[in-house]
Amino acid sequence: MQNRNLKTSIAACLLGIGLSLSPMMLSAKTILVLGDSISAAYGMQLQQGWVQLLQKRLEQQYPKKHKVVNASVSGETTSGAVARLDKLLHNYKPDIVLIELGGNDGLRGQPPQLIQKNLATLLQQSQKAKATVIVLGMKIPPNYGTAYSQAFEKNYAVVCKQYKVACMPFFLEGIAGNKKLMQADLVHPNAKAQSILLNNAYPYIKGAL
């Protein structure tokens, strides 16, 4: 009888421990954000940016903090990110890689074929490192010409389909063209827009968690 009671107590104790550990505590993830000025909080304090707001939201919604690493650099291009990614993957070993790039390539008139090649390389390297990839697509102003704009936007759909990754067609949806949500240069979202950027990206991020 004593042995039976002891086994029952041990089982109850183990069950209690199991219930106290939520699934998220058992699978905390590192999210690497690889972006340009939009994700680097250009023109504002870093804590105002959408990436920092993402960290705060994750801390509020889950019992154990997911780690968000912001490796975004103002002015970054897809070529620059390709040069940096291998070291970032080695140093941080992310579970999720979020790519927000291409805008600077487009504004500089880089060939769409080069942009697509670089995006493909970023996806390949990330997947080789066993990371789930999310792509936040971009669009460029219409004054670059219809043919170039369409080819630029198509890059995201092509590589995301090829590598079977989640892709948001336009990260600045609901922000671009709204002067109240843009800085004076009409290129970078302002502080008021950061929560919208987070809301745009969050469904994709939450799905990857």
pLDDT tens column, 122-148: 999 999 999 999 999 999 988 899 999
More confident residue, 103 or 27: 103
Asked whether residue 124 is domain-assigned, the answer is: yes
The total number of residues shown for the chain amounts to 209
For 136, the domain range is 29-208
Q: Which two tokens stand for residue 120?
A: 């493909």
Residue 70 lies in a domain: yes
**What is the CATH number for 95?**
3.40.50.1110
Neighbours of 37 (CB within 10 A): 20
**Count of structural domains, the chain:** 1
- Between these two residues, 14 and 165, which has the higher pLDDT value? 165
185 catalytic? Reply is yes
For residue 37, indicate whether it is catalytic. yes
Asked if residue 58 is part of any domain, the answer here is yes
Establish if 95 belongs to a structural domain. yes
Torsion of CA 199, 88, 156, 55, to 10 degrees: 0
| Residue 90 appears among annotated catalytic residues | no
Q: Give residues with Cβ within 8 angstroms of 209, minimum separation 6.
A: 24, 29, 66, 96
Phi-psi region of 100 (alpha: psi -120 to 50; beta: other; left: phi over 0): beta
Catalytic member of 36, 66, 105, 188:
188
Q: Would you say residue 137 lies in a domain?
A: yes
The residue from 27, 39, 185, 195 that is catalytic is: 185
The pLDDT of residue 11? 43
Does residue 59 lie in a domain region? yes
141's tokens: 């102003």
